């Protein structure tokens, strides 16, 4: 029987671990509690376009299976109606828990209520679902990522703390993009107020598309020529688009560019000198967390979430991990050491990409 699972958030007063305990009550027999049935997790991804989502998907699938559960995964190609259809299919397939990376953080509130109507708890992965009764949020501290990007930029301008910059934000539909901007703003605000840092051009990149980021930088160069020092790009995809525009104008390696995701091509650019930094968000932490929490929820085991994030409707119990700044100085000790990318992939690829640069 498809049990109605009710998640109850109780303050963890007795636990040594500070946080929230999620437990749930099943009316009748739960799916996963059935004698012969393995728990079944549904994973609905926005997209697999960026390399990061492929590694996340692979890691979640692998870990869910290692935990003795099954998983069905879908990707919606950045289309809200496709994603709603994907969730409908997962529900029809009688999943016990839904993990969702929303394309549009507001539109997917509908997916949360559809799952709840079928008694299925929902975990938002990496991107929060706004204005919904979301059960759990697994991510990194996205405001902190913005702070780290902004601080790196301020500290590494040719004249630290002073300069002209271009800002590229992510997708307006993604609450992470807003939180990243908020974190960046926290750092930049006093410099901008003093007139030490001037934002000469800024824009949002629809669906985080590199080609949109490229057009933003093309437009900035048309207006200002080379009269800027750095590009505060919110992720590696948009950094890639920005660097293409810089390369066409002979500015690659001469303007500092930030990023996020530690994608292989971005790590290669960092070693080649065309991108300054990225933010590494180990999927070994985020994906493994999500897999473990999903399987626990499916098995009706208590779950501890150390933080909470307000999604506009409720305080969502959250497990947020720490992001890591990556530069040439710690490439080996971070992404290479973890086996996220091999030494050869990063350094040989970097040499090849440097040779290709004009």
**Shortest Å distance, C-beta 199 to ligand GAL:** 21
Pairwise CA distance, residues 183 & 185, whole Å: 5
**Shortest Å distance, C-beta 208 to ligand GAL:** 4
**CA neighbor of 291 nearest in space, from 132, 123, 135, 51:** 123
Q: Does 235 bind ligand GAL (CB under 6 A)?
A: yes
**What residues have CB less than 8 Å from 326, skipping those under 6 apart?**
262, 267, 270, 277, 278, 279, 280, 334, 335
**Shortest Å distance, C-beta 126 to ligand GAL:** 5
SS3 state of residue 296:
helix
**Shortest Å distance, C-beta 28 to ligand GAL:** 37
**Shortest Å distance, C-beta 171 to ligand GAL:** 7
Name which position in 80, 104, 126, 229 contacts ligand GAL (CB under 6 A).
Answer: 126
Pairwise CA distance, residues 304 & 296, whole Å: 10
Q: Does 174 bind ligand GAL (CB under 6 A)?
A: yes
Q: Does 260 bind ligand GAL (CB under 6 A)?
A: yes
**Shortest Å distance, C-beta 10 to ligand GAL:** 29
Binding-site size for ligand GAL (CB under 6 A) equals 11
Q: Say if CB 214 and CB 241 are below 8 A apart.
A: yes
**Shortest Å distance, C-beta 342 to ligand GAL:** 21
Phi, psi of 321 (to 5 degrees): -100, 170
Q: Which is nearer to ligand GAL, 45 or 221 (CB)?
A: 45
Q: Does 340 bind ligand GAL (CB under 6 A)?
A: no
Stretch that binds ligand GAL, among 159-167, 170-178, 242-250, 316-324 (CB under 6 A): 170-178
**CA neighbor of 176 nearest in space, from 135, 207, 216:** 207
Q: Say if CB 243 and CB 272 are below 8 A apart.
A: no
Q: Which is nearer to ligand GAL, 67 or 142 (CB)?
A: 142
**Shortest Å distance, C-beta 53 to ligand GAL:** 7
Q: Does 44 bind ligand GAL (CB under 6 A)?
A: no
Distance of CA 269 to CAs 121, 135, 277, 354, Å? 40, 38, 9, 8
Q: Which is nearer to ligand GAL, 204 or 208 (CB)?
A: 208
Question: 46-65: which residues touch ligand GAL (CB under 6 A)?
Answer: 50, 52
SS3 state of residue 324:
strand
Q: Does 127 bind ligand GAL (CB under 6 A)?
A: yes
Report the residue number whose CB is nearest to ligand GAL.
176
**CA neighbor of 123 nearest in space, from 107, 139, 110:** 139
Q: Which runs of E-coded beta strand occur in 311-358?
A: 315-321, 324-326
Strand partners, 307: 318
Name which position in 152, 191, 204, 208 contacts ligand GAL (CB under 6 A).
Answer: 208
Which residues are at the interface with ligand GAL (CB under 6 A)?
50, 52, 126-127, 170, 174, 176, 208, 235, 260-261
């Amino acid at each position: 029987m498809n049990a109605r699972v009710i998640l109850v958030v109780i303050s963890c007063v007795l636990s040594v671990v500070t946080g929230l305990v999620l437990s749930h009550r099943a009316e009748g027999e739960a799916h996963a509690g059935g004698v012969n049935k393995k728990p079944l997790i549904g994973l609905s991804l926005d997209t697999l376009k960026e390399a990061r989502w492929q590694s996340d998907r692979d890691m979640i699938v692998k870990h869910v299976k290692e935990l003795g559960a099954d998983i069905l995964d879908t990707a919606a190609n950045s289309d809200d109606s496709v994603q709603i259809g994907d969730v409908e299919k997962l529900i029809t397939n009688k999943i016990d828990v839904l993990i969702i990376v929303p394309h549009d953080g507001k539109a997917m509130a509908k997916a949360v209520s559809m799952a709840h109507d079928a008694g299925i708890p929902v975990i938002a992965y990496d991107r929060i679902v706004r204005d919904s009764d979301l059960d759990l949020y697994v991510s990194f501290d996205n405001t902190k990522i913005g702070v780290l990007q902004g601080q790196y930029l301020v500290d590494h301008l040719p004249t630290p703390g002073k300069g002209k910059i271009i800002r590229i934000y992510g997708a307006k539909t993604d609450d992470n993009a807003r939180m990243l901007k908020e974190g960046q703003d926290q750092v930049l605000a006093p410099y901008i107020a003093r007139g030490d840092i001037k934002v000469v051009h800024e824009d949002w990149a629809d669906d985080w598309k590199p080609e949109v980021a490229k057009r933003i930088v093309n437009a900035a160069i048309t207006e200002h020529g080379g009269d800027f020092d750095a590009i505060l790009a919110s992720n590696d995809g948009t950094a890639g688009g920005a660097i293409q525009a810089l390369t066409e104008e002979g500015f690659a390696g001469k303007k500092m560019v930030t990023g996020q995701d530690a994608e292989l091509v971005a790590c290669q650019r960092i070693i080649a000198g065309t991108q300054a930094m990225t933010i590494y968000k180990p999927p070994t932490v985020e994906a493994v967390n999500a897999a473990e929490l999903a399987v626990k929820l499916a098995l009706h085991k208590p779950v501890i979430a150390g933080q909470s994030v307000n999604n506009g409707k409720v305080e969502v119990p959250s497990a947020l991990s720490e992001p890591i700044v990556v530069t040439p100085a710690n490439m080996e000790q971070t992404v290479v050491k973890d086996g996220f990318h091999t030494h050869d992939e990063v350094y040989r690829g970097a040499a090849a990409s440097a040779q290709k640069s004009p």
